[in-house]
């Protein structure tokens, strides 16, 4: 009996010691990585060995392809739509501008959905909208049908499945020092997806017609709906076990009212808007600019295709630099590359200026999409909490509105002046102002802790 008693006591001591040891190891595996504006500390698991975080990045990427990449293929459909509806080029291309505008304006609605009903509802609503948009386009008999389907409905799908979704979802699974790269990969879906979607769209239009192409895209989007219904969203929404705000029950993050009354909100919103003005005032006219300077059409198209290839690489690369080398440094360097790229394009005056063309491709193409993930990362770190979706949605209005106004004002300036100097001055001025705005918030984040 004494032997049994001794063994029982020893086993009990061993189990208690093991429990204490496991508890100490868990405590040592977690370390503080920074502070939010509200003073909440975040903890991260020392090892991100789980496949779940990167599987969710892949999900955001795939949903981006199913919405934004398909929406971007519209430029391939323009000639066929112009012929089918006997419409002017401007009337057709305005559909895509509408999608950009609605994509920004609808972002607060997408944010409200995720705050109120959760990620499952947001993703299903977004994919359903993308499916309905392309399916309705395949049956359009009047041009206004396309404005409604590909402009309004597809714009809402883009708002639901891009920045609001990726920031709300990945912010729960990645610590501050890795969040930028994760968002950069998710944001790159539009560029990477376009490499496959553009040739597919062109092939389908040539062989089967534009209506059949939109039916194929509708089916591709619809295939995501069963997956999204049955994903373990309760587990996904809880986030990484080692990444949680202290006093989560008491501190639910800043409210919308608190956010809009402070400068960081307007710094991020104006950064989105001004960056979009700087990019979209120039990009839609670049091909025509090169043709007017005697650059061979196929050669110019290849150069711009390389710029498109560099865009997703720049998204991930500058996000990595922001996570590792400093957010302010990465932001200012990205804007400096874009501004220098505009300068290189201005020096292209003929086929002999090939080096300036490729310098534009490298600098402008490599930095063109890099600010989106940076702004999203800063917004996530500052505002994550119960009201994040709505706050980020309001910030996202700047991107859609800036893209719409940039493309429109750029075209007006060209028509008024008969050249591109004013367009380039607008682009550089907008990018410089955006650099000052984003640089101030990035510097504030570094002072608070990365």
Question: What is the arithmetic mean of pLDDT over 397-422?
Answer: 88
Confidence of residue 232 (pLDDT cuts 50, 70, 90): very high
- Res 36: pLDDT: 40
- Res 2: pLDDT: 34
* pTM given for the model: 0.77
- The 3-state secondary structure of 136-178 reads HHHCCCCHHHHHHHHHHHHHHHHHHHCHHHHHHHHCCCCCHHH
- The 3-state secondary structure of 2-57 reads HHHHHHHHHHHHHHHHHHHHHHHHHHHHEEEEEECCCCCEEEEECCCCCCHHHHHH
Domains and CATH numbers, the chain: 60-234 (1.20.1250.20), 256-450 (1.20.1250.20)
Q: What is the mean pLDDT of the chain?
A: 83
Is the pLDDT reported for residue 102 higher than 60?
yes
- Res 450: pLDDT: 53
- Res 343: pLDDT: 96
Is the pLDDT reported for residue 161 higher than 60?
yes
- Res 381: pLDDT: 86
- Res 449: pLDDT: 62
- List, for residues 238-261, the tens digit of each pLDDT value: 888 766 553 343 357 789 999 999
- List, for residues 75-92, the tens digit of each pLDDT value: 788 888 988 998 887 788
Is the pLDDT reported for residue 9 higher than 70?
no
Of the candidate ranges 23-37, 120-134, 292-306, the one whose mean pLDDT is the lowest:
23-37
Is the pLDDT reported for residue 37 higher than 60?
no
């Amino acid at each position: 009996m004494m032997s049994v008693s001794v063994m029982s006591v020893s086993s009990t001591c061993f189990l208690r010691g093991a429990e204490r040891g496991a508890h100490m190891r868990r405590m040592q595996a977690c370390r503080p990585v920074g502070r939010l504006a509200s003073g909440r500390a975040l903890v991260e698991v020392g090892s991100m060995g789980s496949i779940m975080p990167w599987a969710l990045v892949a999900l955001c990427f795939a949903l981006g392809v199913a919405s934004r990449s398909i929406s971007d293929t519209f430029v391939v459909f323009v000639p066929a739509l112009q012929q089918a509806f006997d419409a002017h080029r401007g009337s057709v291309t305005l559909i895509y501008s509408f999608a950009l505008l609605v994509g920004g304006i609808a972002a607060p609605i997408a944010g409200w959905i995720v705050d109120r009903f959760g990620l499952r509802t947001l993703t299903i609503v977004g994919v359903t909208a993308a499916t309905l948009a392309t399916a309705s386009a395949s049956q359009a008999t009047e041009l206004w049908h396309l404005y409604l389907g590909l402009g309004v409905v597809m714009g809402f799908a883009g708002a639901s499945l891009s920045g609001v979704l990726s920031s709300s979802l990945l912010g729960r699974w990645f610590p501050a020092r890795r969040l930028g790269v994760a968002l950069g990969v998710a944001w790159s879906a539009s560029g990477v997806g376009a490499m496959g979607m553009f040739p597919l769209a062109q092939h389908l239009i040539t062989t089967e017609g534009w209506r059949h192409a939109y039916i194929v895209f509708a089916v591709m989007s619809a295939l995501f709906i069963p997956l999204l219904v049955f994903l373990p969203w309760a587990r996904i929404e809880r986030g990484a076990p080692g990444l949680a705000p202290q006093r989560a029950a008491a501190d639910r993050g800043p409210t919308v009212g608190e956010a809009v009354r402070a400068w960081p909100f307007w710094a991020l919103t104006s950064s989105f808007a001004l960056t979009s003005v700087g990019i979209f005032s120039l990009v839609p006219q670049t091909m025509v600019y090169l043709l007017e300077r005697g650059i061979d059409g196929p050669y110019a198209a290849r150069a711009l295709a390389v710029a498109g290839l560099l865009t997703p690489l720049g998204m991930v690369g500058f996000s990595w630099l922001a996570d590792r080398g400093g957010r302010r440094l990465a932001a200012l360097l990205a804007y400096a590359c874009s501004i220098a790229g505009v300068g290189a394009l201005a020096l292209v005056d003929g086929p002999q200026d090939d080096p300036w063309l490729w310098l534009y491709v490298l600098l402008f193409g490599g930095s063109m999409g890099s600010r989106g993930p940076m702004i999203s990362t800063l917004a996530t770190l500052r505002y994550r909490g119960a009201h994040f979706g709505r706050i980020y949605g309001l910030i996202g209005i700047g991107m859609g509105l800036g893209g719409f106004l940039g493309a429109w004002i750029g075209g007006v300036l060209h028509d008024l002046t008969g050249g591109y100097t004013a367009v380039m001055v607008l682009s550089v001025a907008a990018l410089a102002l955006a650099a000052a705005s984003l640089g101030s918030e990035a510097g504030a984040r570094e002072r608070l802790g990365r």
